[in-house]
Amino acid sequence: MNIQEQVDHLIDTRPGKELLTAVYDDPAVPMVDGLVYRSGGNTAAYLLLTDAGRVIVNTGMGYEAPHHKRVFDAIRPGPTHHIITTQAHVDHVGGVDLFREPGTTYIAQANNPACQADDNRIQGLRMRTAGIWFDMLGTDAKRIHQENPGVSMAQSTPTPDVLFDHRLAFTVDGLRIELHAAVGETTDCCVVWLPEHRVALVSNLLGPLFPHFPNVNTIRGDRYRFVEPQLETNRMVRDLRPEVLITGRHDPIVGADLIEASLERLHDAVVHVHDRTLEGMNAGTDIWTLMRQIQLPPELRVGQGYGKVSWAVRTFWEEYVGWFKLRSTTELYPDPVPAAMAELVDVAGVGATLDRAEAALERGDPVVAIRLGEAVEAVTPDDRRLAVLMSTAHQHLLDAGGDVSFWEHGWLQTQRDRWLAVAAGSTS
């Protein structure tokens, strides 16, 4: 295979959301034998071996840290010289306190405190919606608690001992480690670079699925992830010229040429979507048309199991010109959309509206069917015919490709199941 065929093969073997399913491997899996080991979970944690101890890179959520610690202790129980977190999301920093020992130095990029504060500000939203995408958290936590009795599962909100701005280099028992500041899923990301081994640990820097289109914004809710710093991060990793790239999920990618080609493809795919979006905006094309029209050419194909091209189009639009779509006066006001929809359904009739929705579904347009169904919901939310329509429309979207993306699948599945429950309990 030529190098581009190798990239295509890499994409095909890393298909999508299945790779984001938490699997608690026991024991830890070698990424670079004798040097780097991974403990799987909601977010992978990594163990770096040194001559006289260990360095921990990311610690998982508080509830899963006991698992990570147990499997790492089986390889080398300590001492833990350093803890490094590659970003401030709770699934990276949550177990820091469990791994901390007297003499341990916790290092993070300078923006870490601000990023942790961001997460804390929207903790209520995150807790209310976590079940949409992480419905196994309770089951996993129970299992880990049973396997590690008496070990704290508390979620850390840790304060780093050392913050660095651009680059930090140090040596631990003969192992040289360089930390390079970066912007990816957060503004406090860093690359862990082992120069003597040509190994780069990037975790979720470019998204936990690689090479998949990044989430320039998540549907669960995050601050926007501005495109230019992410592209600069991609170029920075390429400039390191790693021989081994360890990402947030799956096996390491081995071979400098394959890593370079994969990073270049991802970079150019993002640039393509970004530039086509701006061209369309300037030409007067509305956002909904751009979301439909902009596609990746075959030579820039990347996975869309994490971020999606159409979502990126919308994010790029809003990054540049904000939330006003220049489409409707109602965008400027706190418009009671359900009330307006209810007025229309009252005129047309519930039955006639559902007839139109079912016809839309029959001709292969489930999104229109859902839109009409939401209008009916504003009038009669417990209607069984409505519930059957809505559950079926969401299943159609799942069957038509919505099962690939982790985020899209979680939302569609949750909505389908909600409407199935309404249908089962309805009397109308």
pLDDT band at 9 (very low <50, low <70, confident <90, very high): very high
Contacts of 344 (CB under 8 A, 6+ apart): 353, 375
The model carries a pTM of: 0.92
Segment 309-330 shows an average pLDDT of: 91
* Apex 410 CA angle, 405 and 413, nearest 5: 115
* Residue 10: pLDDT over 70: yes
Check whether 39 has a pLDDT greater than 90.
yes
Q: Does pLDDT of 145 surpass 90?
A: no
Enumerate long-range contacts of 10-13, CB under 8 Å, 24 or more apart. 10/211, 10/253, 10/258, 10/262, 11/211, 11/212, 11/301, 11/302, 11/303
- Complete domains list, the chain, with CATH: 3-266 (3.60.15.30), 336-425 (no CATH)
Q: What is the pLDDT of residues 280-307, one digit of tens each?
A: 999 999 999 999 999 999 999 999 988 8
How confident is residue 428, by pLDDT bands cut at 50, 70 and 90? low
- State residue 427's pLDDT score: 52
3-state secondary structure of 50: strand
Q: What is the mean pLDDT of residues 173-183?
A: 96
pLDDT of residue 70 exceeding 60, the answer is: yes
Does residue 113 have a pLDDT over 90?
yes
Q: Does the pLDDT value for residue 426 go beyond 90?
A: no
**Per-residue pLDDT at 146:** 87
Check whether 59 has a pLDDT greater than 60. yes
In tens, the pLDDT along 229-274 reads 999 999 999 999 999 999 988 899 999 999 999 999 999 999 999 9
**Residue 335: is its pLDDT beyond 60?**
yes
Mean pLDDT of the chain: 92
Q: Which residue has the higher pLDDT, 40 or 68?
A: 68
- Model confidence at 226: pLDDT above 90: no
pLDDT for the residue numbered 337:
75
246 is written with which tokens?
A: 């360890």
pLDDT at 20: 75
pLDDT level of residue 394 (50, 70, 90 thresholds): very high
Instruction: Select from 324, 302, 326, 327 the least CA-distant residue to 312.
Output: 302
* pLDDT confidence tier of residue 78, bands split at 50, 70 and 90: confident
Nearest to 327 by CA among 279, 284, 282, 286: 286
pLDDT in the model for residue 172:
94
